[in-house]
Structure 1
Amino acid sequence: VQNGFRGTGMASVYNPRTLAAEAEKNEVPASIPAAADGPKAGAVYKNVKVLGNLSVAQFTNFMVSMTSWVAPEQGCAYCHNVANFAEDANYTKIVSRKMIQMTQRINVEWKSHVAETGVTCYTCHRGNNIPQNVWFTDPAKPQGSGFLSGKNGQNTPSPSVGLSDLPYDPFTPYLLKAENIRMNGPTALPTGNKNSIQDTEKVFGLMVHMSKSLGVNCAYCHNTRSMPEWSQSPPQRMTAWYGIRMARDINNNYMVPITNVFPAHRLGPEGDVAKANCATCHQGAYKPLYGVSMLKDYPFLTGTPAPRAAPKSDEKKTVAMK
């Protein structure tokens, strides 16, 4: 598919067999409309800390929808004590509140990436308790003590970098921290460019991840005649630029602050919380759900989110759901 000027070789390559396989998991679930009139959920139910301004019909409808998106097998009991729905005994209920606020923030503050399409819980979860595409910081791999023992994370094939020999953790430096991603110098000779080959290879690892996550090749975001030149790049590059910063916002302001809420079996080998990358939402599609918006049925997910904050002392680790 041509996505640049003629004769430049700028095209995205799609395999019909791959697209057919991806189509099923990008289908949008059916929704049931709910009336906005009637008493408010916050006035009828106890301990409603988010979405209390919805009508009881809207609130109940969304709870049913969210259950089908996140816990279709466990049902309401995945988040709630069914003997007392107001109770906050299960960690999943605390997490779900924070995730609703995160979703609202994305839809309000990150239109530069999600536009008017927006996201819902289903965008990432797709019927799974934990989104299938999350990441944890990889522990350092064992290595010798000789002169050439340091591998810089390379030559350890990992799915995160397309099983290549690139550094296996492209996420911690760029989607949690904010290390520099621009490596190319502005001149033919490396005059004044202090970036190393190792830094460049880490960036390549991130680019491989983005390409795989969206099911596209380099020319989707870059003019390969001059990779670093913004004025000659497709508009998708700017969207991706904002997406990287959105992922950092999600990870640093919504996921990391609730690390202590999760039980040990939900944390990574280094004790860190699951975090988002490009694949978390995109799941192989250039646009999640191929650009279909679910917000028309759930407009309250574009409401103003609560201020970002670390969890309170009483929102520490609670009863774990197995």
Structure 2
Amino acid sequence: MNIRTFCMLGWVLSFLLSCQRSSPDPIIPDYTDATRYYQEGEVEVIQQYDDNQIFVVFVADGYTRATLRKDGGIYRSTAIQHIEYLFGQAPFSQFRDHFNVSIIYAASTDSSTAFNYGDQPSSQMDGEKLARYVEAATGIEGFSEQVQVLFAVRRPVNGFGGNKTAYFPADQPDIMLHEVGHSFGNLGDEYQYGQGAPLELLADPGTRGVNSNLDITDDPEQVKWKRYFGLSGYEDVGIFEGGFYSDTGVWRPTQTSVMRETRDDGLSHGFNAVGREAIVREIYRLEGKSLSFEAFLEIDQVNVE
């Protein structure tokens, strides 16, 4: 090795060592910095009206603390996406100012969850913790029929809805809407699957309109939604066989709706007239008011014009 090569190698080594000494230590995010990150259990109020007693709260599972950034965080953007999707669909779009809406921030240790029908909510958010967080957001102790929970799960899962709680995959807002149809509107599934469900579950729904969008008769004089027949703007309402997981022996009011088919392109089929009526009736019931069919038709005119 000549002297020139030796000097060149020495210069390169000296340069690399100086770069190493001058490189700053990696920055470790301070997730406890409340100016930059939402904290565990923190509640952000999206809208609140003092006279309202119906709540929508969003909470999610499978989101690490890094996603709780206040500036461009994935958790918040996912929450806003679903809240806006819900209130962009009739009849919720017409009654947005009847709801208090908030986001509950909850961090998971990693992005995986153990969500399944056997242990809902998942291992990252147990039922006791969820109840405590919901109470902090609403001021109502325990799970209440006044509170609709939107529970997003950050992985592919089957949706589930009931008792004012909707579980759904976080990247499928139309599945969220479908599950809200179950949990808020007491609507049944209008699709066919497997061997069907016991038809006695479709007996007289009583005053709350459970499964008001399904019937076990195709008699136009007896079917639950007979009042729509012949009304202008409701020509799509009829008697279509198939629903409640059965191919035959069960009928639904329209060819399709979000309770029969969900979409992932942002173009929801939405609730049919019977579904919209059920949701509006539930809003009125929770507010302690009665609703005639004629009054509903006036409210619903904007959706059929």
Do both proteins adopt the same fold according to a TM-score greater than 0.5, normalized to the shorter chain? Answer: no
Higher-helix-fraction structure: 1
Q: Between Structure 1 and Structure 2, which shows a larger proportion of strand residues?
A: 2
TM range (shorter): under 0.3
Q: TM-score, normalised by structure 2?
A: 0.28
- Asked which structure has the greater CA Rg, the reply is 2
Higher relative contact order (CA 8 A, sep 6+): 1
Under a length normalisation based on structure 1, what TM-score does the superposition of the two structures give? 0.27
